Amino acid sequence: MNVITIVCNSLHLGFLGTYGNAWIETPNLDRLASEGVVFDHHFPENLTTLPTRRSWWTGRYGFADPDQGWTPLRPDERILPDILWSQGVRSALISDVPLLREAGLGYGRGFDDVIWIRGQGYDPLVPKDDPRARGVRIEDEPGLRLPPEDDPEFELWKSRWEQFLRNRAVLHGDVDEENTGVARTVQAAIDWLERQGRGGKKEPFMLWLDLFSPHGPWDPPQPYRDQYVTVEPDEFEAGEEGDLVEEQEDLDADIDIEEVAALIDVPAGAVGEVIGEAELFRLRRIYAGTVTLVDRWLGVLFEALGRLGRLDDTLVIFTSDQGEPLGEHGFVRRFRPWLYEELIHTPLIIRMPGGRHGGSRHQALVQTVDMLPTITAALGLPPLRDEPPIHGHDLLPLIRGEQTKIRDYACLGMDVAEFAIRTHLWHLVVPIEVDPEEPRNPELFRKPEDRWDQNNVLDQHPEVADNLELTLRRFAEAVARDDLDEPPFLRDVARLGARTT
């Protein structure tokens, strides 16, 4: 068996058809879901981009350790490609995520083949003096929102936007779909796959396809940019249970949403400060178009896999490193380490070779640390028994129906500033570092009815919150000791869930 892992950056779960969205077109991911197993409760353990890849590639929890966050991989840190290399499995990383390529981080090491696709986001591809970008000025692009000039981050965002505009002037991804990052990265993956097996070679492989989209800046070409402008969805209306998309009548009656200028990107911040309500409504439509663009090129990849016969001998995994806050709690992008559902609940679809066990959904609580043991098991490699221990679990027994669950709860964190614990019935968010200018208290949300964490019920269920926080803190301590062998509080949470159903 071979393995292809496809990951997206910042894919909001609520914008996928297989996870309940009825108005955004994602036919190729819908088809993958129909042929695979959809996991309804998948969560990272450490946000955001780099920490998630560390947990994917090490199979270990690190959310409570500042040295395991947005930090370089240590030279002695055992990661997935190192394991595969020692077992004769060819590995490849093909990616257009500029954050992975930053000097000194080491996130491209260990793979047999590494292909970087340049020009996404603020990737320093086109220098300031490049004649191809002559005349590019940030003042000429109203779709980019700068902070005030007296803001300490003004120069940072100005330099980012200028780099983005220079890249766009050369690549023309805003008008030429073939030149978008997702299209060029998928094509590079297809080219690599076509080279495998030539000359009679039959060595197994693991392809890690890491896509930057639908992460901002959101600048898709037509028709994706305006594809959903006039759509009036009824799946995510404003109200007590979530506000992914306000109803048109909730906006000012004089606003014609089609005439609202499209924003390409804004600094992370509060709605009403960095972005207006009508602009947010419009931005969500552009984000939806970007998701459809990603789905379109994944369809090209899946078609190539069928043509090459790889759907019969390859395990295909699709997931995302994080969601994308789009106003659900009053802010856009990752403004704060606030671990609400729109950021922490991520998709996971696993298609077995030949589509075996396909068309089902699994309710087990699974996490990013489960990626490594699942991949090594799919490749037929022996269990990893040496140090350091793997914290994750192989998900294949769940898919085959040999197990029904692997954990009673999922623990996670971001920037060692906020932790959370998620069960099937509860989601508790616990601030760890308290900002005196913006103090926060723990929050408790009831699941599944409060999908987007709108109603804090901690005052009604203080005992539940206390037990969950105790479990969360004990788990973090157990991770620090590298001792996760069925600690006794695991059973406490299971009883807690039964007691409060």
CATH number for the domain spanning 117: value is 3.40.720.10
3-class DSSP string for 72-110: CCCCCCCCHHHHHHHCCCEEEEEECCHHHHCCCCCCCCC
- For residues 187 and 273, the model is more confident at 187
In the three-class reduction of DSSP (H, G, I as helix; E, B as strand; rest coil), residue 360 is classed as strand
DSSP 8-state secondary structure symbol assigned to residue 263 = P
- For residues 293 and 201, the model is more confident at 293
Task: Tell whether the model's pLDDT for residue 239 goes beyond 50.
Answer: no
Q: What is the model's pLDDT at position 250?
A: 52
Q: Containing H/E element for 181?
A: helix 181-195
Task: Tell whether the model's pLDDT for residue 344 goes beyond 60.
Answer: yes
DSSP string, 427-489: EEEEESS--TTS----EEEETTTSTT-----TTT-HHHHHHHHHHHHHHHHHHHHT--S--TH
How far apart CA 300 and CA 310 sit, in angstroms, is 14
Residue 234: burial class (beta carbons within 10 Å; 0-12, 13-18, 19+): exposed
Instruction: Please give the residue range of the domain that contains residue 175.
Output: 2-499
The residue written with tokens 């060595």 in the block is 203
Q: What is the model's pLDDT at position 353?
A: 97
CA distance from start to end of the chain? 42
User: What is the model's pTM?
Assistant: 0.94
Q: What is the model's pLDDT at position 261?
A: 83
Report how many domains make up the chain.
Answer: 1
- Token pair listed for 485: 């062998």
pLDDT classification of 399: cutoffs 50, 70, 90: very high
Q: What is the model's pLDDT at position 57?
A: 97
Amino acid letter for position 272: G
Task: Tell whether the model's pLDDT for residue 371 goes beyond 70.
Answer: yes
pLDDT in tens, 303-336: 999 999 999 999 999 999 999 999 989 899 988 8
Residue 354, phi-psi category: left (phi > 0), alpha (psi -120 to 50), beta (remainder): left
Percent of the chain with pLDDT over 70: 91
How far apart CA 293 and CA 289 sit, in angstroms, is 6
pLDDT classification of 376: cutoffs 50, 70, 90: very high
pLDDT in tens, 61-104: 999 999 999 999 999 999 999 999 999 999 999 999 999 999 89
Q: What is the model's pLDDT at position 246?
A: 46
3-class DSSP string for 384-428: CCCCCCCCCCCCHHHHCCCCCCCCCCEEEEECCCEEEEECCCEEE
> Which of 324-328, 354-358, 406-410, 431-435 is the least confident region?
431-435
Residue 272's beta-bridge partner residues? none
